[in-house]
Amino acid sequence: MNYHWDFSPVFANAALLAAGLGNTLKVTGIALVCGLALGLLLALLRLSRHRWASWPAGFVIEVFRTTPPLVQLFWFFFALPLIVGIEMTPFLAACVTFSIQSSAFFAEVFRAGIVSIERGQWDAARAIGMNHAQALRRIVLPQAVKRMIPAFMERVIELMKTTTLVATISYADLLFEANELSQKTFRPLETYTVVALIYFFVIFVASLLARRLELRLARSGESTVG
C-alpha cells in the first residue's frame, strides 16, 4: 500500500473532536433522562384501563417505533417550526426528537417489565388495602425496574448510536466535527478512522459496563425480562 498515513492533522485538532464528543454525550444524556421519564408516563398510560389514555399513548409509541429516526429528526427540525411557529435550533430538535423516540422504546420496556410481575403481587398489595397507584409505586415498579435493567442498557447503547444522526442537521457533535475536519485537512481516511475508533471505544466500554451489571443482577437471583 503506497498511501502515506498521516494522523497529525487529526491529533492537532483533538480539542475540536473532544468538544464534538462532549456535545454527543450532552444530547444523549438529555434524551436519556427525558426519554426515561416520558417512557414511564407513556407506559402507564398504555396500561391504563381507560381508552382515552391507552389509545393515544399506543399511537405515539407505534408511530415513533415504526418510523425511521432520521425522518423524525428532519420532521422536528424542518416541519415542526413552521407548524408551531417557534425557533428550532439543531440542538433543540435533536433533544426533542430523541427524547420522544427513545421514550417510545423505553415505554415498551417499562410495559413488559410491569406486566411480567405476577398477579399475586398485585393481589397481596390490594389485600392489605393499597390502591392501584400505591401498589404500582411501592410493590410492582420496584421489582419491575430491577428486571428491566438489561433491556434498558440495551436501549441506552442504541441511543448513543442513534444520536449521531444529529450531524445531518449540522449539530456540532463528534460526527459533524469529523466531517468538517476531513474537509479541512483533506485527510478523510485518518479522520474518519480515528472518529470511528473513538465511537467504538466509548460505546464498547458502555456495553461492557452494561454486561457487568447484567451479570451482577443475574447472580443476585433476579430473573430478567426484555
Partner 1 sequence: MKWDFASVFANWDALLAGAAGTLRIFAICLVLGLSLGLVVGLGRYARHSWAYWPATSFVEFFRNTPVLVQILWFYFALPILAPFEISPLAAAALGISLNSAAFSAEIYRGGIQSIEPGQWDGARALGMSWAQAMRRIILPQALKRMTPALTNRAIEIFKMSTLASAVAYVELLQQGKLIASINYNPIEAYTAVAVIFFVFLWPLVQFTYLLERRLRRDE
Residue 107 C-beta: closest distance to partner 1, Å: 15
Rounded to 5 degrees, what are φ and ψ at 203? -70, -35
Q: What gap in Å lies between CA 32 and CA 98, rounded to an integer?
A: 8
Pick the closer one to partner 1 by CB: 41 or 157: 157
Pick the closer one to partner 1 by CB: 62 or 123: 62
Pick the closer one to partner 1 by CB: 15 or 82: 82
Residue 9 C-beta: closest distance to partner 1, Å: 14
Q: Burial-class residue 101 by CB neighbours within 10 Å (0-12, 13-18, 19+).
A: buried
Binding site for partner 1 (CB under 8 A): 1, 3, 62-63, 65-72, 74-75, 78-79, 82-83, 157, 160-162, 164-165, 167-168, 175, 178-179, 182, 188-189, 191-193, 195-196, 199-200, 203-204, 207
Pick the closer one to partner 1 by CB: 13 or 72: 72
Residue 158 C-beta: closest distance to partner 1, Å: 10
Residue 135 C-beta: closest distance to partner 1, Å: 26
Whether the CB-CB separation of 47 and 224 falls below 8 Å is answered with: no
Cell numbers describing residue 215: 451479570
Pick the closer one to partner 1 by CB: 9 or 69: 69
Residue 53 C-beta: closest distance to partner 1, Å: 21
